Amino acid sequence: MVFTFPHMGNIYMAAKITFDGLGIRYVVPPKNAKRALEIGSRISPEEMCLPFKIMMGNFVQSIHQGADCILLVGSRGPCRFGEYSELQYRLLKKAGYDVKFVVAKFQEEEDKEMDLASLKDIVAGVQMNKGAMIGAAVRGLRSMYLVDHLERKAHANTGYERSPGESRKLYEEGVAAAFAECNAQRAFTVLKDYKRRIDAVSLDKSKRPLKVAIIGEIYTIIDPFSNLCIEDKLMDLGVSSTRKLTPSWWITDTILRFFRLNGLDVIRHSGDYLPWWIGGHARECIAEAVMADREACDGAIQIYPMGCMPEVVARSILPNVSRDLDFPIMTLVVDEMTGEAGFITRIEAFLDLLERRRNKCII
């Protein structure tokens, strides 16, 4: 089998390093772009959200490159992500694509009509002992944390660097260099080297750039194409940004969930506004808005795809958070019709508001 997976931020780096280490055949879909969205929109129900349509485009592009098995995680709760795999399987089959799915689900019940492969099928042809296989998987997992660290540093360091743009350059160079390596160990070593280099970037903490928190639905805030590269635009404008939801955060949260230790900060900071888990990352969104205020951010930007039910609930609560904490929060809703010009205008207007608020406080 030849495996593929949807693009979701930098998760493709961890998948590549893991598969290279195991000697498994795979296809990395082209990075998310207009073409993937066009393909996905043609074969997806109109009412489905943006991440669903982009993923469908990822799958079709990968299938055309030889993939015949799709890896996807599942979910539970009101978020429709839990139903992605079943619907995507049916739509691909209807469109004439014969593929299998490997779905890591939290719930026990499985769709009997799906042609499901198992995790054993992934490693069936791997020619190494269990210890080496575990080592390759751990290396891939650690690489995910390294990539997220590089990205987080690039966004956070903006505006503080003595040499503007240095962190961003290191992040982009590090990811590109690691991706170009076919040897998993060398790729991992490259990421470790760039982590050391980005941690050594000289910062001037006396500078006071605007600091903005990015909150909202996990896919749209970590996928640059979905959010029209908002974090890149903030870096271009010299704005430091922070984002707690990352692929490595999701991995940690999933592991801690088995011990009922996940989301302790979320529970503590969201309790006054949303004391229940309602699916998706709605509760995280509320908690992160509160934490952003306590971490001296100047404001927060919520981003979510049109029709995302948990985030619609969060959006209705955020005005109360903003009023109670006197903390500016802007919401951006994205879909396949979102125009970049209006998107940028709203961001720039929000940043102007934050700048005026800061100057008023200084005066």
Residue 354: name the closest of 333, 331, 327, 332 by CA.
Answer: 327
Residue 138 sits in the same domain as residue 199: yes
Q: Name the domain count of the chain.
A: 3
Residue 7 sits in the same domain as residue 22: yes
Mean pLDDT along residues 338-360 = 92
Residue 213 sits in the same domain as residue 360: yes
- Evaluate whether 240 touches 211 at the Cβ level (below 8 Å): yes
Q: What is the CATH number of the domain that holds 225?
A: 3.40.50.11900
Q: What is the pLDDT of residue 199?
A: 97
Mean pLDDT along residues 128-137 = 89
Residue 218 sits in the same domain as residue 351: yes
> In sequence order, which residues have a C-beta less than 8 Å from that of residue 95 and are 6 or more positions away?
43, 60
- 297-328 per-position pLDDT tens digit: 999 999 999 988 899 999 999 999 999 999 99
pLDDT at 264 over 90: yes
Within a domain: residue 312?
yes
User: Residue 299's CB: how many other CB atoms inside 10 A?
Assistant: 22
| Dist CA 14 CA 218 (whole Å) | 18
- 66-112 per-position pLDDT tens digit: 999 999 887 655 677 878 888 999 999 999 998 988 887 654 445 55
Residue 182 sits in the same domain as residue 221: no
- Evaluate whether 53 touches 37 at the Cβ level (below 8 Å): yes
Q: What is the pLDDT of residue 337?
A: 86
Residue 246 sits in the same domain as residue 363: yes
Token pair of 310 as six digits: 């948990």
Within a domain: residue 127?
no
Q: What is the pLDDT of residue 114?
A: 58
What is the average pLDDT score of the chain? 91
Within a domain: residue 336?
yes
Q: What is the CATH number of the domain that holds 31?
A: 3.40.50
3 state DSSP class of 215: strand
Residue 228 sits in the same domain as residue 353: yes
User: Residue 53's CB: how many other CB atoms inside 10 A?
Assistant: 24
Residue 185 sits in the same domain as residue 214: no
Which domain does 39 fall in, by range?
Answer: 3-122
Residue 341 sits in the same domain as residue 229: yes
Residue 108 sits in the same domain as residue 182: no
